[in-house]
Amino acid sequence: MAVTDGRQARRHELRREMILRAAAEEFALQGFVNATLDRIGERIGLSKASLYYYVNSKEELLAVILEQVTSRIAEEAAQVEGSAEERLRAFVRAHVTVGATSVEGQVLGENVNVLLDREAHERFARARQKHEQRLAALIHEGVEAGEFRSLPVGPAVKLMFGALNSIPVWFRPDGRLTLEQLADEVVGWMLEGLAGPPTDPHSTT
């Protein structure tokens, strides 16, 4: 019985992964507002009714994708240790790379308006806030250590993510800059904006 239950759980998990992948493709292509559960199911041969066995709603699918892609960015960035500047550099590079090379990253870029809506799904808000807090913590640490100048951290985080989340929308692999070159440029711009002697670290918000 235990073996059978394990196999069923694994099949359920594999099917759910397929659904998430299909949802990511649908959201990236159509946008969240225009995407439908019917088309998501069609991509993997499931009816809309069958989808409800695995997920509760379109909102749940987008929330899970958002949680997964932001966690992946955080995990890749966490491989680098060192100063706040070095870890911020790794965070920005991970965000650029994951965003531009994965369909889930494209979902993040293409659906920012949905994720930032004041009436957005509560789970969207939690995932977004957690991701923003990671970046805010790095900036705060850099200010306290004298690596970055004193600045209002909240607006800085919003501006930085606005730039980062737009990259999957306009980046083209055959463009003037390779992805690695683009990541270097973006890191340079952002660190230049943070550079300078601190004034009053405790004034950050």
CATH classification of the domain holding 124: 1.10.357.10
Task: Give the model's confidence band at 86: pLDDT under 50 very low, under 70 low, under 90 confident, else very high.
Answer: very high
Q: Which residue has the higher pLDDT, 115 or 38?
A: 38
Domains: count for the chain: 2
Average pLDDT over residues 198-202: 48
Q: Which residue range is the domain that position 62 belongs to?
A: 58-200
Helix (H, G, I), strand (E, B) or coil at 19: helix
Residue 200, pLDDT > 70, answer no
Q: Domain with 23 in it: what CATH number?
A: 1.10.10.60
Domain membership flag for residue 205: no
Q: What's the pLDDT score for residue 205?
A: 46
Q: Which residue from 143, 127, 136 is spatially nearest to 197, judged by alpha carbons? A: 143
- When the pLDDT of each residue in the chain is averaged and rounded to a whole number, the result is 85
pLDDT in tens, 150-171: 999 999 998 998 889 888 888 8
Q: What's the pLDDT score for residue 198?
A: 46
CB 200 within 8 A of CB 153: no
What is the reported pTM? 0.82
Same domain for 144 and 102: yes
Neighbours of 6 (CB within 10 A): 10
